[in-house]
Amino acid sequence: HTYYSDGASTVRELVKQAEKKGLSGFAITDHDTVKAHKHIKKFNKVIIIPGIEVTTKQGHVLGYLINESIPKELSVDEAIDRIHEQGGIAVAAHPFEMFRGYKDFMKHAFDAFELLNGYEPKNYVYKKLNKYTKKMPFTAGSDAHITESLGRCYIESPEVSDAEELIKNVLRRKVKAGGELLTIKDYVLKLKLIEEKKLKNPRTSTVQKIVSKIIIETPAPILEIVNGLLTRAVNKFNAAR
């Protein structure tokens, strides 16, 4: 995510981070906007996949190979149709997380689902996760809201020359997912860092700045306890699914 939505990075900063980490490319999937895409043509050392993360009534939907904005608050099916109309692929974003996902994603016409998401604490246990990889293509993403998080989760693919070829490999299941999920302690530290950068972003709304200040000023141990309680609740929820 770039500073055009809820991220703290410019496209240039993300490109530099990709080169530093040895990544061949990355996707830009800002929430409900493609404004950052105008910068993509300025860079040719890494592959940048134009995308979007659509906020629907049921959950987030990732669209790859997308160049036009898609309205938020559509139904999941409507968002998927809009993505397909642009020739893109629709991916179920972090579908296993209780607060940001949805358990019935297999009922929709998704082309793939997000197997790994770098913004989730690793304490989220998805006992039924592996069975989905046998039924549907998958992706993995850092869900990076700050530059340093880029590359935390990733996919490995045979060598490709452009974004279109990479997406074909995803659909053909020629990719592997890798990366490292967060401990609760790291998650809290990362959360505070993200909120600090949001305060410095001139595009951040007044309400968001108030929320950011509350999170920053809350002692880390308290946030860890709250997060731990939520995590246990999520684990029980997912275990019952």
Q: How confident is the model over 142-151, as pLDDT tens digits?
A: 988 888 889 9
pLDDT digits (tens, 9 = 90+) for 205-223: 888 888 888 888 888 778 7
Most confident of 50-59, 164-173, 179-188, 231-240: 164-173
How far apart, in whole angstroms, are the C-alpha atoms of residue 11 and residue 143?
A: 14
Strands 89-92 and 112-117 come out as parallel
- Residue 228's pLDDT band (cuts 50, 70, 90): low
Q: Tell me the pTM.
A: 0.78
Rounded (5°) CA angle 90-103-79: 30
Poorest-confidence range of 123-137, 143-157, 170-184?
123-137
pLDDT over threshold 50, residue 241: no
pLDDT mean over 80-101? 87
pLDDT digits (tens, 9 = 90+) for 12-38: 999 999 999 999 999 999 999 999 999
- Residue 123's pLDDT band (cuts 50, 70, 90): very low
Asked whether the beta carbons of 50 and 67 are under 8 A apart, the reply is yes
Average predicted confidence (pLDDT) for the chain = 85
Top-confidence residue, 224 or 121: 224
